[in-house]
A and B are shown apart, each in its own frame.
Chain A
Amino acid sequence: MQRSKYIHRIIKAILFVAIVVFFTIILDNAFELNEGATENMLVAYSNKDDIDTVFVGNSAGEMLDAAEYSELMNVSAFNMCTPSQELAISLKNMKMAASHHKIKTIVLLMTIDSVGQSEGDWIDHLYDRVVDSSSPLNVRIVNAIRRNAAKSFDPDVIGTEKSINIWIPWENETEQDLCSIIENLENRFMRFISGERLGSHIAFDLNERFYENAPGEMTYEDIRLLNEDINNAASLSVPSDMIEAEKLSLLSEICVFCRDNDINLYVLVTPHRTDYYERYDSFRSYFNTLNAYVDDFIAKRGFMYYNTEDDDKLHQILPDDYFYDWEHVDDAYKDQATRYLSEVIKNEFE
């Protein structure tokens, strides 16, 4: 009697946990945007053969077209830049790139203001899951548990709420509206039914054409005015301190990783429109100091750093009209940007 009572309780406990896991999976799929940029990029990368050069960095780095660059430089390149990519994610991308192919060169493309921003880890779990997506289910589950346990029991995390929420992947997602949640679920379900793998080339290609002026819909002047409005409304968060220790530590880790794996690392600050620094008014001197500091920091670790701001010819080759906004090159002028950056890399780094 007593024994059957215990068995009954154990079954109920297992059922309880199963329901929690079931809802977690459902909600994860509902909240996490289908075909996100990172997800698509990673899957697209895993389908490529013989890559020897990768570009990592934030959305500004998407101006460097991998196919064009490969032709110009006689290499096989892939662009891993994604919107708001932080250094921690860039490092993850580098590690993933090196684990799949023999990588000879990594170009880290940055905007100077991004060096001064804090790191976040919102994309961590997505990255890990996508990296695992081609593995068998049992391996994925074991890897997920192992990774979550490592994060959960990290001494800095273990005593905080985050230590539990790490196990609830959808908790990190930004809020979505109801329509996108339903669409998301529908897309994922259809993909599951059709047996299609996560991500697709088409979606990634679409993502690459994000910074495209739509003629007749929004002119350059419209965008300029829109940017001005944003500048006036938003309070730009520029740190008062030089550079965060976490950023430096990541930069250092990136250098060590490249050195240990015999990879050439080129750190490049991407081109921008002439009014780029106007956004920051009095912070120009801060960025100059930051620039010199990072230059020195990278040089001390045996690699090279170049800021296209230092190039007098920049704005002749890439005039303001070529930009979608202050730091993203319009997709129509990507070829010009790629040719320019290829020249810079050839002249300054090689």
Chain B
Amino acid sequence: MAFYSIAFFSFVLFFVILHELTGHFFPDLQWTVRLLAGISFFVYVSGLKIVFLLLSAISIWGGAIVISNEARLNKEYRKQAGLSREEKKASKIRSRNKKKMYVAFVVVLNLAFLLMAKYILPVTAHPVALPLGISFYTLQAVSYIIDIYGEKYEPQHNPGKVLLFLCWFPQMIQGPINRYDHIGKDLYKTYRLSAPDFRLAFYVFLFGAVKKYAIADLLAPMVNASLNDNASVYPGSYLLFGAFLYAIEQYADFSGGIDMAMGASLLFGVRMAENFRQPYFSTSLSEFWRRWHISLGSWMRDYIFYPFVTTKPMSRLNGAINRRFGNHAGRAVIGGISNLLVFALVGLWHGPELHFIAWGLYNGLIIALSDAAAPLFASVNRMLHIGKNSKGLYCFRVLRTFMIIVFAGYFDVIGSVRTGFTCFFNTFFNFDHIHGAKLIGQLMSEDITSAEAIVTAGIAIVLLVVNSIFKETGHSPVNYVCTRRYMFRWVVCFALMGLLLYSFTVSFGSRGFMYAAF
């Protein structure tokens, strides 16, 4: 079900009305409307595969209570009078081991569901479609149970509320990966929709739709024509053009979808986790990953990177390298290994194909190398008398990071690692701008796109860039529009609606969200 469809609009309208009525008459039960919306949405899209979701919810609900009880019992036991220090310590270790066993069981169980649904069932003789949002809600489930183990917050005793945390409908299509401590309060609170909140939700949704349909969908045919299985025969200039468009398309598609999901969620008073913070203004790849798909990046950092870095073997290795080569070397090696692991997993999370893993490793390797070379860069800057706050240096770094991301597209889009490498090679050693320009010109003559589509996408991209610049400098264009008088708001609204609708007239067909496939 597309966000921009009568089905979704009717669905949201029905549940918003029900939500408001329940909020008026039975405020304490308002969360059940959200739960009902989540379950209905899941069943509408994935039918009986809701079993996967229910099993996940039951496992983390039960697991969290068992782990929490174990911690409570252990604390009570240790408070008893007359226990020796050794007995208390032994009890603590026993309890921790038990909790570890429970948490491992629940995590393995949930990952097994994900593994089965995403990596095993699709390649069987009778492939089965993915249950809706399993890649996203599984990570949410794992984060919940690990946080309970770490006693970050109290477990939720109501299984319905745990299920709601996993199946909140706007997050189901392509995330973000919400955290319980962040979204929980909003999910269970009583809320009445106000006019300013409605306006905010509307404009967030509308701008998201413009990103998706006026940018991503209009650029997609050109990207598909340039970055495909035949890409190895194209000159570097053409490939670079395709990869550049892909970087824009991917951002517009993913962040547009997230905006639309957030807009829908705001109508119910639920503010979901921020997933993008102007990623193309990043000055390094590691910063990019703190601004791009933030919810996945922070999940990987908290539940893979840090736990891995602090394992005993890694700590020992760190100590050994520190002693022999100095602190920076230890940090760079341990960070590098951890980044490679994390990004290989990020690649695998996108899909079981080799090119995704290569794409992940490309990211991990660049981050590892740039960490290792950080002192070298610093000394070069000192030598050239370039200050830390130099605007030129900032622009250079932003451009450099953007190009690194553009090149990553070769592995991300093209289904063959070998072809990805050939594209890389062609970009640097077979640029051939004359042939490339001819091929770019052919995109229009071969009915792949049209001048109208390019102009429409161009206008929308300018809007996106202006919006990003304002946000980067601490302003919020959406909030600004929402707080103006209605005449101004309407002009903006009609302009965006006009752009959106016109984009459909020049579009060569819409497709689902990229990240919905992950």
Contact = CB atoms under 8 A, between A and B. Distances in A.
Given A9-B195, A12-B486, A19-B494, A171 B501 contact: yes
A159 B506 contact: no
A161 B510 contact: yes
Nearest to B509: A161
Contacts, number: 51
A7 to B, nearest CB: 14
B374 interface: no
Given A12-B486, A168-B504, 14 more contacts: A9-B195, A19-B494, A23-B494, A23-B498, A31-B505, A152-B6, A160-B2, A163-B6, A165-B501, A168-B501, A173-B505, A174-B505, A175-B452, A175-B505
Interface in A156-183: 158-161, 163-165, 168, 170-175
A87 B401 CA distance: 54
A158 to B, nearest CB: 4
A189 interface: no
A159 B8 contact: yes
Contacts of B510: 160-161
B4 A159 contact: no
A16 B202 CA distance: 14
Interface in A20-41: 20, 23, 31
A153 interface: yes
Contacts of B505: 31, 170-175
Contact of B504 (A31, A159, A171): A171
Contacts of A172: 505
- Looking at B5, B497, B498, which has the most chain A CB atoms within 10 Å of its CB? B5
Interface in B479-518: 486, 490, 494, 497-498, 501, 504-506, 510
A163 B486 contact: no
Interface string A205-220: 0000000000000000
Contacts of A16: 490
Given A19-B490, A23-B494, A161 B504 contact: yes
Contacts of A164: 4-6, 9
Contacts of A165: 501, 504
Given A171-B505, A172-B505, A159 B494 contact: no
**Looking at chain A, what size class is its interface with the partner chain?**
20 to 34
A20 B510 CA distance: 23
A158 B7 contact: yes
A23 B452 CA distance: 20
B444 interface: no
B490 A153 contact: no
Given A9-B195, A19-B490, A175-B506, A159 B7 contact: yes
Interface of A: 9, 12, 16, 19-20, 23, 31, 152-153, 158-161, 163-165, 168, 170-175
B395 interface: no
Contacts of B7: 158-159, 163
Nearest to B456: A175
Interface string B1-16: 1101111110000000
B213 interface: yes
A234 to B, nearest CB: 9
Contacts of A159: 1-2, 5, 7-8
Contact of B450 (A20, A23, A175): A175
A174 B506 CA distance: 7
Nearest to A15: B490
Contacts of B450: 175
A29 to B, nearest CB: 15
Contacts of B213: 161
8 contacts: A20-B494, A153-B6, A158-B5, A159-B1, A163-B6, A163-B7, A172-B505, A175-B452
Contacts of B501: 165, 168, 171
Nearest to A173: B505
Contacts of A152: 6
A174 B508 CA distance: 11
Nearest to B497: A20
A158 B6 contact: yes
- Looking at B6, B452, B497, which has the most chain A CB atoms within 10 Å of its CB? B6
B250 to A, nearest CB: 20
Contacts of B504: 161, 165, 168, 171
